[in-house]
Structure 1
Amino acid sequence: MSRSRRNTEGLLARVNFPLYSLQMLTSRHVLVAGGGGSAKTGVANGFEVFEITYDGKRYVAKEVVRHETGPKVVMNCAAYSNNKYTYLAAGQEGHCQLYKVLITVEKEGTAGSDEVNKGSNGLADSSGLRNRKPESKQSNDSKEGLAKVLKFEFVAADSILTDYGNKDGSTNETNDSEAMQRVVRISRCGKLMACGGTDGHVRLWFFPSLTPHKDIEAHSKELDDLDFSPNSKMLASVSKDGKGLVWEVVTGKQSFDLKWTPPNGTKYLFKRCRFGVVEENKRKSRIFTISNSMGTNSKQANGIVAQWDGENGNRLRHVIVEETLSALAVRDDGRFLAVGTMFSGSVRIYIGFSLQCAMVVPQAHSTFVTALELLPAEGCAISSNSEAAVISISIDNRICIHNLPYRRTLPPWLVIIVIVIVLFLTFTFCSYLGL
């Protein structure tokens, strides 16, 4: 049975621009991106990096760096790290801008130890979350040596046109202004990048050289989402044409499509797609999708969370949500997934295998959830008392985190006592019956 609670302690930080995209740069550093666009509204465009820690009672976010992108809003992004480098691919209108992220280790200074966590507008965050260590702990650090922190610097590299808008492949100024990259993904192996936009094409690039690999005429309408399979051999795409398709990365040929018969004959459109590994067998994969019903009042529309076989596209199970869905995330081990809603700004956490709802956070945001990211299970540097935790963002400028506490179980000593009592009562009852 799902647990429903008010989000009273979920606020991590506020920024001074609408948020559209979210990525984990490291196991404890999260990047949020967005902006106000090219209009002269005074709202900045760019991204910020926050370090997330757990102080024993709640999660705390500390701003690490802010990078502004001028007049171009960042609507989507993808990060990749290997043993040598970290990269960020950011969608800016019809282009994809590649950044090389320089990460250095420095010693943290002691100045400003009594300052509270500040948002990107330079004002103290109303949540009251502290950005520095307490004085007592800092005095200990000064004796034992200053704490080491990671510093991030974003260096712009190549920029490529990934969407043509009018589908004719021309690159003149008029057509370029109509183009918009909707989604970018980097394969798990780090060798390929996929982009999709308003022209319906799925374009594959070798990464990080950004040389073309395949141009797939995938959909008749704009792309909504893409995702690589865990083995990087397949790519799923969903579009406003109502289709969910899976492609072979090497050949660019369609492998299968996601077909099913919706309940009550209602038409549903795919919104997001994510691959996830099977918890019991990491070599197998599942595809998770969210879809929304069409032809009804938008506030009365239903959403569907579905699970598909990643090998052949057979639908395995689904659950109906009485809200329009807007965002989807799957944890790296496939054990949990999270969805965000459109009108209520709520967040739900589901068990990946069964699609059983484990927790509901109503009104986590004041408007629709734009992106979600589950803290990784493998190699996570954030120790907490949570079974899972998901970060959510919205155009309400808020960064929130929602944690699923470990489900309560009986202590071993109590289980043993119960077993002994049951055996004793059984023996007594059998003796009474003369058995």
Structure 2
Amino acid sequence: MSDSPMAELLCRVDFPLYSACMISPRHILLAGGGGSANTGVKNGFQIFEISTDGDKCSGDSVTRYYTGEFSVMTMSARSISNNNIPLKVYVAAGHNEFCQIYSITLGRERHISESSGLRHRGGGMANGSPPAPTNNSTNNSPDSVERKIVFHVEPLKKVQIDYSPKEPYGKVVRISYNSKLLASGGDDGNVRVWSFPELSKVHEFTTHDKEIDDIDFSPDSMKLASISKDRRGIIWDIKKGKKHAELGWEPSNNLKYMYKRIKFGCVEGDAKKYKVYTISNPIGSSKAKAYLHKWNSQSYTVEKFVTSQSGLTLSALAVSDNGNFVATGSMSEGIVEIYAAFNLSVLKRVANSHSTFITGLEFMPTSEESAPSRGFTDASVVSISVDHQVCIHHVPRMKTISSFWAMLLITAVLVFTFTLCSFLGL
């Protein structure tokens, strides 16, 4: 376990953050806002490009999109292109009782150098997004052109996802890994599954008695997990349209616990093999520790569990895309803990990442395309909060020895073994 006394600041924004999604190997979408109150704090999302100078990572803003009176409390994103140019991503964003779908396309903004006395922007920014700054050209030729990467945002369909009679509010949305389904949950306690991006209702599950706190699709898009303030965790079979299993465990301290977050995680990158992870907080006790559980996806029984190292209640959970790492965030003291998924051993603990509770965690892709942006670490997770800060935490790559030294070590062991056997007359 490696302790870091300080978090690495990736970037800052001018609005409270509630959701984060990676939309490319090096681009992250950050969402939030100040809500409908007239506080002057804008609502919307901002896209940053993550890069590194070999020592630290930094995030550079490339696109900003405003969502009017709606703050974005929950968001999910999936690519709809297969290595095609331009990159295109669908984003589902929670807008109070509605879910709004956006299409985000990667493009390039064209600038004529100022020396020509002209400036042309090829392809307008998304509605509500301010223009990106123009860089000065180093070429004084009138024909010199500069291009800046931007994302063009287009609002598409929206659908009402919650029908609570008092004050309807959708708390969470998720797009399936195969990009064919959207799941939603909110204050009315119903889990709804929609075709995507058409937004026709496919299923509505009414088993939960209270508001939904989190949902997630399995990597193969065949199962859906939901947790609620009724203290139940349920696994749904999407194809059959019914309950598949229910999570259950008995705390050793005789206290009551409530599930806070739930996530599926594949095993060694195999989408057909996966585990379920949950974080649970004690009810009515400020001294009891929170739990991180790892569940078997065949029997849906607990395989492994650990108590929060911080001794504090937990607010955020994330699993890396290859299933090798799990991260949690705390409700206070801004603590991020990263675990090895196979045995839940703590790999890294960072305190004071944020000045208040952590609202979201998002792992960068572990692919080779993402490796330069994350500094060639084994994994990197981004943490967000309402304190306007965005931090990044790394799991350093395991040290290895060269093939020459490995062969030399093996030869030395064999020589030593042969000499010892000869000395003993064996």
Other structure's SS at 1:218 match: coil
Indicate the residue corresponding to 1:105 in structure 2: 108
Normalising by structure 2, report the TM-score.
0.86
Of residues 301, 311, 315, the one that matches 2:302 is 315
Other structure's SS at 1:302 match: coil
Where in structure 2 are the equivalents of 1:35-434 lying within 5 Å? 35-83=33-81, 85-106=88-109, 149-166=148-165, 175=166, 178-279=167-268, 281-297=270-286, 300-321=287-308, 322-378=311-367, 380-383=369-372, 384-430=375-421, 433=424
Other structure's SS at 1:345 match: coil
Contact 2:220 2:271 in 1 (8 A): no
Contact 1:285 1:311 in 2 (8 A): no
Summarize deviations over 1:296-322 as a string: whole Å, max 9, x none: 12xx33111111122331221111112
Q: Distance in 1 between matches of 2:378 and 2:147?
A: 28
Structure 1 residues 218, 154: closer, same or farther in 2, change over 3 A?
Answer: farther
Indicate the residue corresponding to 1:170 in structure 2: none
Task: In structure 1, list runs of 5 or more residues that go unmatched.
Answer: 112-130, 167-174
Q: Distance in 1 between matches of 2:382 and 2:174?
A: 19
Q: Distance in 2 between matches of 1:350 and 1:393?
A: 18
Summarize deviations over 1:22-71 as a string: whole Å, max 9, x none: 11111211111111111111111111110111222221211011111122
Identity %: 41
Aligned pair count reads: 396
Amino acid of the structure 2 residue aligned with 1:39: A
Contact 1:275 1:310 in 2 (8 A): no
Q: Distance in 1 between matches of 2:341 and 2:348?
A: 13
Other structure's SS at 2:216 match: strand
Q: In the TM superposition, what is the alpha-carbon distance from 1:139 to its structure 2 partner?
A: 5.7
Normalising by structure 1, report the TM-score.
0.84
Q: In the TM superposition, what is the alpha-carbon distance from 1:414 to its structure 2 partner?
A: 4.1
Structure 1 residues 152, 429: closer, same or farther in 2, change over 3 A?
Answer: closer
Structure 1 residues 42, 241: closer, same or farther in 2, change over 3 A?
Answer: same
| Deviates further, 408-417 or 324-333 | 408-417
Task: In structure 2, list runs of 5 or more residues that go unmatched.
Answer: 115-132
Indicate the residue corresponding to 2:125 in structure 1: none
Structure 1 residues 426, 104: closer, same or farther in 2, change over 3 A?
Answer: closer
Summarize deviations over 1:198-250 as a string: whole Å, max 9, x none: 11100111110111111110311111100011111110001111111000113
CA-based RMSD: 2.5
Structure 1 residues 301, 180: closer, same or farther in 2, change over 3 A?
Answer: farther
Instruction: Name whichever structure is richer in helix by fraction.
Output: 1
Other structure's SS at 2:378 match: strand
Q: Distance in 1 between matches of 2:76 and 2:422?
A: 69
